[in-house]
Amino acid sequence: MLIGVDFDGVIAEGTNQKILWAKENLGINLDPMETSKDTSLPKFNKIRYTAPDGSVLTGEAIYVYMMSQIAGTSRTLGYQLLPYCKEALSILMSEGHRICVVTSRGKYGTDSGWGRKFLRVNNIPHDNYHRMKQDDKKDFLLKYGFDVMIDDSYNKLAPLSGTGIISLLFTTPWNASVKIDKPDIIRVKDWKDTLNVIEGIAGKRGEMKKKVA
Ligand SMILES: [Mg+2]
């Protein structure tokens, strides 16, 4: 099967870098739970931050700027690799699946491939890396015939429902309470669970092929 894997929150986790950046540049302490776009807003809405180019930012604009300074710089190399990610990807590739990392990191403009560098430095098994400039991954996934997409953003997976692509919502502290109301979106709790679920899907598809034959 052709499997799409999101980068941020699924392969690598940047909470530590966001906390560090906020401390150094905004002088505030972010709690780990306050590091997603939505959960950072209560604090960022109260701040006016003057960026190096003189523009004054507040709220979501601070989040977007922070991400450009993290996703678009060598700070990405300080991200934490998710447990068992490497092992699971290696097993999936040995079973004949193809792995394409599909990330929206390109929307931060300044990202010149630090995600790709992270994969290389950490020897993460994968066939391809695709960096898109927008949040919408659906057209790309459909165009290339992806079978499965693993993402930690329910908003990015919801549009895939009904397309035939099976979505795995990779659980993070920020999406743990999100209710899934679509039958083809499956919550996975970590990489061991992800591996099990994909092997189960591949097994069922193999059986179906045998029956047809
Ligand atoms: Mg993500």
Q: How far is ligand 1, taken at its centre, from the CA of residue 206, in Å?
A: 30
Q: What spacing in Å lies between the alpha carbon of 15 and ligand 1's midpoint? A: 12
> How many angstroms does the Cα of residue 209 sit away from the middle of ligand 1?
33
Helix pair angle (15-26, 60-71), 10° resolution = 120
pLDDT score of 41 = 95
Q: Tell me the pLDDT of the chain averaged across its residues.
A: 93
Residue 213 has pLDDT above 70, yes or no: no
Instruction: Kindly indicate the confidence band of residue 101, based on its pLDDT and cuts at 50, 70 and 90.
Output: very high
Task: State the average pLDDT over residues 14-42.
Answer: 94
Phi/psi for 3 (5° steps) reads: -115, 125
Mean pLDDT of 81-103: 97
Question: Looking at residues 186-190, what average pLDDT do you find?
Answer: 98
CA-based radius of gyration for the chain:
18
123-172 pLDDT, tens per residue? 999 999 998 888 789 999 999 999 999 999 999 999 999 999 999 999 99
- 12 alpha carbon – ligand 1 mean position (Å): 9
45 CA distance to ligand 1 middle (Å): 23
pLDDT tens for each residue of 102-131: 998 877 766 678 999 999 999 999 999 998
Tell me phi and psi for residue 117, to 5 degrees.
-65, -40
Q: Report, at the CATH architecture level, how domain 2-13+80-212 is classified.
A: 3-Layer(aba) Sandwich (3.40)
Of all residues in the chain, the percent with pLDDT exceeding 70 is 95
More confident of the two residues 110 and 67 = 67
Q: How far does residue 102's CA lie from ligand 1's centre (Å)?
A: 10
Cα of 82 from ligand 1 centre, angstroms: 12
**Spacing, Cα 24 to ligand 1 middle (Å):** 24
C-alpha span between 186 and 169 (Å, rounded): 6
pLDDT of residue 140: 95
Pairing outcome for strands 166-170 and 185-188: parallel
The alpha carbon of 55 and the centre of ligand 1 are apart by a number of angstroms equal to 28
Q: What three-state secondary structure class fits 96?
A: coil
Token pair belonging to 155: 């908003």
Domain boundaries, the chain: 2-13+80-212, 15-77
pTM over 0.85: yes
Instruction: Give me the amino acid identity at 128.
Output: N
CA of 42 to the centre of ligand 1 (A): 21
Determine the distance separating the centroid of ligand 1 and the alpha carbon of 103, expressed in angstroms: 8
CA–CA gap between residue 60 and residue 51 (Å, rounded)? 14
